[in-house]
Amino acid sequence: MVSYSEYFTTRYGETHTIISTHYESMIKRHANAIGHAVDGMIWAFRTQPNFKTHFAFIFLAILVGWLLEISYNEWIAILITALMGIIIETVNTAIEKMGDAVDTNYNEHVKISKDISASAMLLYAIGAFVVAVVIFVPKLYMIVF
């Protein structure tokens, strides 16, 4: 049996090659996963009207934030809120599509699953509206009055 130190002394080149191959394979798997994620986002943006609506509101929030010169902390709140909206809408869309794939006929369990995921999006939208009101309304009020 070869000891730990002898193994690396006598077989360093082979071990190094195995480690390199392992990391190259891992990087390739991650690159493939990122590619699939990008494909999913592109599909959602092209086919789901709600995605376009979310990005329109995000663009509007960024534009208004820039025009009103909101603070660093307000930017963080806006950006986190925007990101959470896209995440929740993505999960909601995935749940809806999975439900459609499971059963194309009416299924009470699929309906409940879709309703619950849609309610998550509704709760987010209410929260996002509150965040926008808290950040933008006082600043707009100061400009108008």
Q: Measure the CA–CA gap between 120 and 114, rounded to whole angstroms.
A: 10
Task: Name the CATH architecture for the domain at 49-145.
Answer: Orthogonal Bundle (1.10)
pLDDT value of residue 31: 83
Low-confidence residues of the chain, pLDDT below 50? 1-9, 12, 16-18
Q: Report which DSSP code applies to 106.
A: -
Q: Report which DSSP code applies to 105.
A: S
Q: Measure the CA–CA gap between 110 and 96, rounded to whole angstroms.
A: 8
pLDDT value of residue 112: 96
pLDDT value of residue 14: 52
**What is the residue extent of each domain of the chain?**
1-47, 49-145
pLDDT value of residue 20: 52
- pLDDT above 70 coverage of the chain, percent: 83
pLDDT value of residue 137: 96
| Three-point CA angle 21, 26, 29, nearest 5° | 125
Q: Measure the CA–CA gap between 66 and 25, rounded to whole angstroms.
A: 43
pLDDT value of residue 103: 87
pLDDT value of residue 3: 45
